[in-house]
Amino acid sequence: MSSLSTDTAAPVSEKAPSPGLAQRFAPALMAGPATLLFAALVLTPLLLTFLLSFNEYEHATGRTHGFTLSHYAEVLTDGYYLEIFLRTFRVAALATAICAVIGVPEALILSRMRNPWRSVFLLVVLAPLLVSVVVRAFGWSMLLGPDGVVNMILQAVGIGRTRLLYSEGTVVVALVHIMLPFMVIPVWTSLQKLDPAVEQAALSFGASRSTTMLRVIAPQILPGILSGSLIVFGLSASAFAIPGLLGGRRLKMVATVVYDQYLGELNWPLGAAIAVILLVANLIVMLTYHHVVDGHYRKRMG
């Protein structure tokens, strides 16, 4: 019990020397590479695309440098494009919802595992990211093709050969497969932050497992589900490889239409206009969603 031995007060330190030049510019220097990369690879092409979308286009002469809003007018009034936009967002929304339905329980199970299994299964969850999207898309087309494994099974059970490829369903399934890790990881991260005693508390007050999940756990991992949904939706809505390879020529989504305009029709300004509209529409959907869900959460959790 030496608590009463008086501590000699630590000498008051001299006034801290003013930070050197390097220190003062350190934040700017550190942010520099990222800023440069972002400006060169994201902002510049975006700006060029934006400017391009106002250029005039003639079939005979190609792109001219005049200013027109006709491409925007065309996309926004033509039912053909409207249908493609609706399909794109429908597919993205569906993929997001299915990812949430599969990914949230997956993350829950993962968070309850103990090592080494937890590490093993985390790797399994992340494994799809290690394989190229194109390779995985071809994997799906082999699986679902006319002579694929699934059709062989369908024939064997007597349902008969079914056309599985080039349908919206196939695109959704493949997107879910690719996007799932982007849902699991943020949900898992928010589960890591939960106090395990909170769940025990709910149980001790007589709550069933399902009530505990719905009333106590789910509200707390909402931010994780929110960020997972935003990532999955954004990536799905602008996905190109999967709809391109599994949607075929007829089932078009926005990204594949942009590609067609650029490389098929050679109408770059129209392609650019579609791309800009996709970006804006995507932003509106995501910001609205974020505002609704996050506002609801922030009100409670601060």
Using CB under 8 A, list all residues that contact another protein. 1-5, 195, 197-198, 200-209, 211, 215-216, 219-220, 297, 300-302
**Residue 289 beta carbon to another protein: minimum distance, rounded to whole angstroms:** 19
What are the φ and ψ backbone dihedral angles of 145, each rounded to 5 degrees? -60, 170
Q: How far is the CB of 299 from another protein (least distance, A)?
A: 9
Which residue number, 216 or 285, has a Cβ lying nearer to another protein?
216
Q: How far is the CB of 280 from another protein (least distance, A)?
A: 33
Please say which residue, 80 or 205, places its beta carbon nearer to another protein.
205
Dist CA 181 CA 187 (whole Å) = 10
Residue 144 CB-half CA count within 13 A: 19
Whether the CA torsion 64, 65, 69, 75 is positive or negative: it is positive
Considering the complex, state which of residue 194 and residue 285 has its C-beta at the smaller distance from another protein.
194
Q: Are 104 and 217 in contact (CB under 8 A)?
A: no
Concatenating the DSSP letter of every residue in 113-171 gives --TTHHHHHHHHHHGGGGS-HHHHHHHHHHHHSTTSHHHHHHHHHTS-----TTSHHHH
Of 1 and 21, the one with the shorter C-beta distance to another protein is: 1
- Distance separating alpha carbons of residues 68 and 292, to the nearest angstrom: 36
Q: What is the DSSP letter of 213?
A: I
Of the two residues 2 and 18, which places its CB atom closer to another protein in the complex?
2
Show the CA angle centred on residue 247, arms to residues 246 and 253, nearest 5°: 130
Other Cβ atoms closer than 10 A to 105: 13
Is-contact 254 84, C-beta < 8 A?
A: yes
Whole-number minimum distance, CB 194 to another protein, in Å?
9
**In terms of CB distance, is 2 or 13 closer to another protein?**
2
Least spacing, CB of residue 108 vs another protein, in Å: 17
Of 179 and 226, CB closest to another protein: 226
The answer for 160, left when phi > 0, alpha when psi is -120 to 50, beta otherwise, is left
Cβ atoms 268, 52 nearer than 8 A: yes
**Residue 100 C-beta: closest distance to another protein, Å:** 19
> How far, rounded to the nearest angstrom, does the alpha carbon of residue 129 sit from its chain's CA centroid?
13
Q: How near is the Cβ of 232 to another protein at its closest, in Å?
A: 24
Q: How far is the CB of 186 from another protein (least distance, A)?
A: 18
Residues 88, 287: Cα–Cα separation, whole Å: 18
Shorter beta-carbon distance to another protein: residue 2 or 77 = 2
